[in-house]
Amino acid sequence: MPSTKTQIAGFPFENCLMNAAGVACMTIAELEEVRLSQAGTFVTKTATLEARAGNPEPRYQDVPLGSINSMGLPNQGLDYYLDYLLELQEKEPNQTFFLSLVGLSQEETHRLLKQVEESEFKGLTELNLSCPNVPGKPQIAYDFETTETILKEVFSYFTKPLGIKLPPYFDMVHFDQAAAIFNQFPLAFVNCVNSIGNGLYIEDESVVIRPKNGFGGIGGEYIKPTALANVHAFYQRLKPEIQIIGTGGVLTGRDAFEHILCGASMVQVGTTLHKEGVAAFERITAELKVIMAEKGYESLDDFRGKLQYIEG
Ligand code: RRO
């Protein structure tokens, strides 16, 4: 029987599939549902210092080929997620979970990370540099100068395993420039990709979400080629200590297989989890194992990053 076990920053996970931040992770009830499913672990909804209500509804819409959202960073505030994670690590000391966060300003981001640094939290922290939906706040990771400044400051005090959630990039020069910045830091992982920012979906003559006159982040089938390109571009460019988490367009075991082939060590499920519920983890895992068995692969190491090119 093939194994879909993996590890990130040396922490072992029984399965390489988990939720993508934003889906099934706003409340403890949702997080518990993911934890008790076939998922290898979970990540919490990106937290700010204070709880936020987010943008007005409707703000998330499933559509035939994916989803569009402009949630606007609704969350319960850092203390809610951190308190839960601290309790959980007492109860389940052998399991590791991801905490996602970002401030509404650089100062707030540092306050959040300092609080995590000073806490007993032993898991993985994901700094979300790619929220596309807070009106007036551009996606941080599209500004390379700011990104480099933030990472320099963060690593002057933050010593726990830290990764970053990235938006999709669309130009080879941008892959090169971003990787040159990330390679300067002791990042545990980069997570590629967040939703493709600021798409527009129309039904009849109207947008389908209220905020920002209908503009929102696109997920699902639409984004798999972009997600795979980002996973592989960073797999080729980053130092081997920085692992890749692949997110975007995972509907089937075949999609997860492709993310791993491109270099992903962990694969996140967002839109499909929203559409199908936590049963998606069992289905996608089973489909991935069938593909691995057909190809004679016993572990993810047998094919991770081994994407074949057409020579000549
Ligand atoms: O809450 C959101 O609107 C949101 C966030 Br923080 C994010 O990182 N990605 C996204 O698609 N939506």
Whether 68 is in a domain gets the answer no
Q: What value does the mean pLDDT take over residues 16-37? A: 98
Residue 19: CA count within 13 A, CB half-sphere: 30
* Residue 138: per-residue pLDDT: 86
> Looking at ligand 1, which atom is closest to the CA of residue 217?
11
Does the residue 61 lie in any domain? Answer: no
* Ligand 1 atom nearest residue 130's Cα: 8
267 pLDDT more than 90 = yes
Residues with CB under 6 A from ligand 1: 22, 46, 69-73, 128, 130-133, 194-195, 217
Hey, which of 73, 126, 215 would you mutate to test ligand 1's pocket, going by the most ligand atoms within 8 Å of its Cβ? 73
List the catalytic residue out of 16, 25, 131, 192. Answer: 131
- Asked if residue 82 has pLDDT above 90, the reply is yes
Output the six-digit token pair for 274. 């929203």
Describe the crossing of helices 224-237 and 253-261 by its angle, rounded to 10 degrees: 30
- For ligand 1, atom 5: residue with the closest CA: 131
Residue 50 has pLDDT above 90, yes or no: yes
Residue 213, in any domain of the structure: no
Identify the domain containing residue 163 by its residue range. 6-54+73-197+223-302
Cis peptide before 186 (omega within 30 of 0): no
Atom of ligand 1 nearest to the CA of 45: 6
Spacing, Cα 83 to ligand 1 middle (Å): 22
Number of domains in the chain: 1
Rounded Cα distance between 289 and 54, Å, is: 38
Q: Write down the pLDDT at residue 135.
A: 82
The answer to the question of residue 37 being in a domain is yes
Rounded to 10°, the helix 106-118/144-154 angle is 30
- Whether this prediction's pTM lies above 0.75 is answered by yes
Q: Residue 296: pLDDT above 90?
A: yes
- Binding-site members for substrate are 45, 69-73, 128, 194-195
Report how far ligand 1's centroid is from the alpha carbon of 87 (Å). Answer: 26
For residue 22, report the distance from its CA to the centre of ligand 1, in Å: 6
Confidence of residue 223 (pLDDT cuts 50, 70, 90): very high
Report yes or no on 307 lying in a domain.
Answer: no
Q: Are 75 and 52 in contact (CB under 8 A)?
A: yes
Residue 160 maps to a domain: yes
Terminal-to-terminal C-alpha distance of the chain = 37
CA atoms of 14 and 85, how far apart (whole Å): 19
User: Over the Cα atoms of the chain, what is R_g?
Assistant: 18
pLDDT at 88: 98
Q: In the annotation, is 131 catalytic?
A: yes
Summary mean pLDDT of the chain: 98
- Position 80 scores a pLDDT of 99
pLDDT at 134 over 90: no
Structure confidence at residue 312 as a pLDDT band (50, 70, 90): confident
Q: Identify whether 93 is part of a domain.
A: yes
Find tokens 């409707």 and name the residue.
58
Under 8 Å CB-to-CB from 310, ≥6 apart: which residues? none
Ligand 1 center to 109 CA (angstroms): 16
Q: Could you read off the pLDDT of 142-157 as tens digits, one per residue? A: 999 999 999 999 999 9
CATH of the domain at 119: 3.20.20.70
Calculate mean pLDDT across residues 186-209. Answer: 98
How much is the average pLDDT of 210-215?
A: 97
The closest alpha carbon to 23, from 175, 189, 248, 197, belongs to 248
Mutate to test the pocket of ligand 1, among 70, 131, 165 (most ligand atoms within 8 A of CB): 131
Structural domain includes residue 89? yes
136 pLDDT above the threshold of 90: no
CA 289 to ligand 1 center in whole angstroms: 31
Ligand 1 atom index nearest CA of 73:
1
Rounded CA separation 188/161 (Å): 6
